[in-house]
Amino acid sequence: MIRKKGITRNIRPLEILSEEQLESIHKNTLDVLENTGIRFESDKALKLFKENDCNVDMEKKIVRFPPWLVEECLRKCPSSFIVKGRGPRSDVRFGGNMSNFLPFPGKDTIDLETWEPRTPTRKEFYDTVKIMDALDTVHYTGSYVPWFGFKNTPAVMQMLEGDAANFRNSTMPLHCNYGNDCEVFAIRMAKALGAVNLGVVAISPPLTYQEDACISAFRNIEAGFPLYIQSGPTYGATSPVTTAGATVTNNAELMGGVVLAQLIKTGTGVLVSDFGFTQNMRSGYPVFGRIESSMHQVVFNQIWRRYKIPIGNHSTGVSNSKRIDYQCGYEKTISLMLSLLSGANEIGYHGCIYGELSFHPIQLILDDDVAATIGRFLQGVEVNDDTLAIDVINQVGPIPGTYLTEEHTRKWWKNEQFIPKSSDSLTYLEWMEANKKDCIEYAKDRMEKILQTHKPEPLSDSEEKAIEEILSEAREFYRKSGKISDKEWEACKEDVNSAGYPYY
């Protein structure tokens, strides 16, 4: 198994706030935490806060935080930590000047002729995980990655089916979601494979943690897993519309979660993630890919780097375009560029097209090129005797001198030039002879090649048995508790009993 390496940033991070601005946001955030507080809809969490010097209104479920406690808990978070997939060399470290990628989920796949969305099949899901496993710039995966479930899966089982598919067809660590107690089964799957998940806790803005989010925090930390805490405001609806104000609510929300994590267990690894978006002030729907999300993320990254806590950016993965086209390309690329330049450690990016609602493997492959391209930029410029090439410059001199014949060129060009795998690099003549192929067609070729040749490391027989047992136990559990309808149950049984199940 080859270790996938994250992207290293060797250049100074982009920062756009002055020291006073930064300090003002920090101070005001602590004020909001102390005066307005955060709502935690979990008695277990409220009790813990109360025992640890917070001012807790048990009836309204509001926790007000003393600033010293918040600052102490920020200091207690490790500046980097590790998650693990299955097998050796599958670990991923979050923190420092490294950036690791998670594909960004979409609800549906799309038809490349009509661009309309539709539910993917189980086979498409498993195949796409296989492609992710093969790509160098995809470092870890998640419950709803690539899609929010697939055909003939009961709604309540979609997350666990996604987890299983990812564990089966890749060795990568899992960004593991929660809800309806799914995380209990997901944690068992990870344990059966010796994996360490990144346990998700999602905030419900403004300033609220729902009960299941709190329970997810307890369960994951008790399993020894680090947490991924995400705030996802719609600017103007669930946060102030201004970048500064949204940063304050966002950070207050996240700091509440940081305190919870450190109170449950000191030293727990926490990754704070930002997934905010602009609102379309006509339809009320979020508009994805707008520059405000990036302004927000650059500010966010600057502040949390100061706290020395690993940072996630997720607004980077989404466009508002419904097609794989120019808009999709520029919206995703501009925001990824800014996120990487400003030092995000964890980025949701590949594959998604229209904001959380569609994902396609062709987009996944195109995004591999974009991530690698910016990764090349972040390597920075090497300046030393060899790269300065003064001897060669003096020797080649003016015309008719040429560098093409020089050993220096032969030695260095592959190191200097990054070649994207799916871009059109041809001249007009070559392009006409090659049937005017474009990047989408190159990506299609690459996809087919990966599907034919890539073989993910298989699970051992006992591991496979453990995963399938946990899945069937979960199915029975939800069926008995009434969360799977008769219709869903029939479709699910047919799927599970079909030839070739589970298609990997």
Partner 1 sequence: MGGIVNMSDTISSLKESIITYNRNLAREMATKAIGEGIEPNDILAGMTETIRKIGDDFGKGELFLPDLVGAASAMSEAISVVEAEIEKSGKEIEKIGTVVLGTVKGDIHDIGKTMVKTFLVAENFRVIDLGVDISSERFIEAIEKYNPEILALSALLTTTIAEQNRIIEVLKDKGIRDKVKVIIGGAATTQEFADEIGADGYEATAARAPRLCKTLLGKE
User: Is the backbone of residue 141 left (phi > 0), alpha (psi -120 to 50) or beta?
Assistant: beta
For partner 1, which residue of 237, 440, 451, 496 counts as binding (CB under 8 A)? 237
Range 383-422, binding ligand B12 (CB under 6 A): none
Question: Least distance from C-beta 148 to ligand B12, angstroms?
Answer: 5
Q: Which does 405 bind (CB under 5 to 8 A by kind): partner 1, ligand B12, none?
A: none
135-167: b (≥16 Cβ within 10 Å) or e: bebbbbbbbbbbbbbbebbbebbbbbbbbbbbb
- From the number of C-beta atoms within 10 Å of its C-beta (0-12, 13-18, 19+), residue 196 rates as buried
Residue 224 as a binder of partner 1 (CB under 8 A): the answer is no
User: Kindly report the CA angle at 318 between 315 and 322, in degrees rounded to 5?
Assistant: 160
Give the footprint of ligand B12 on residues 62-121 (CB under 6 A).
Answer: 107
Closer to ligand B12 by Cβ: residue 205 or 343: 205
- Residue 276 makes contact with ligand B12 by CB under 6 A: no
Contact residue for partner 1 among 114, 283, 462, 497 (CB under 8 A) = 283
Binder among 21, 97, 180, 409 for partner 1 (CB under 8 A): 180
x-marked contacts with partner 1 along 133-162 as a string, rule CB under 8 A = ---------------xx-----xx-x----
485 binds partner 1 (CB under 8 A): yes
Exactly one of 256, 310, 312, 355 binds ligand B12 (CB under 6 A); that residue is: 355
Residue 286 engages ligand B12 in binding (rule: CB under 6 A): yes
Residue 453 identity? T
Q: Kindly give, in sequence order, each residue whose CB lies less than 8 Å from that of residue 468, ignoring residues fewer than 6 positions away.
A: 502
* Per-residue tokens: 49: 């806060």
**CA–CA distances in Å: residue 497 to residues 158, 197, 468, 478, 491:** 17, 29, 13, 18, 10
Residues 301-330 that bind partner 1 (CB under 8 A): none
- Residue 282 binds partner 1, judged by CB under 8 A: yes
Q: From the CB of 171, what's the least distance to partner 1, in Å?
A: 29
179 interacts with ligand B12 by CB under 6 A: yes
Indicate the residue among 159 and 324 with the shorter CB distance to ligand B12. 159
* Contact partner, 236, from partner 1, ligand B12, none, Cβ < 5-8 Å per class: partner 1
Name the token pair of 293. Answer: 């999300």
Contact set for ligand B12, span 225-244 (CB under 6 A): 232, 234, 238
CA 466 from chain centre, in angstroms, equals 27
Closest CA to 250 of 306, 313, 320: 313
Check: CB of residue 342 under 8 Å from CB of residue 384.
Answer: no
Binding to partner 1 in span 378-417, by CB under 8 A: none
232 near 276, Cβ under 8 Å? yes
Q: What are residue 322's phi and psi, to 5 degrees? A: -95, -5
Question: Which of the choices partner 1, ligand B12, none does residue 502 contact, using the CB cut-off of 5 to 8 A by kind?
Answer: none
| Cα–Cα separations (whole angstroms), residue 487 to 96, 279, 436, 483 | 49, 37, 48, 12
Assigned token pair, 429: 């003549």
Instruction: Give me the residues that bind partner 1 (CB under 8 A), please.
Output: 148-149, 155-156, 158, 179-180, 204, 208, 210, 234, 236-238, 279, 281-284, 483, 485
Interface with ligand B12 by CB under 6 A: which residues? Answer: 107, 144, 148, 177, 179, 202, 204-205, 210, 232, 234, 238, 284-286, 355-357
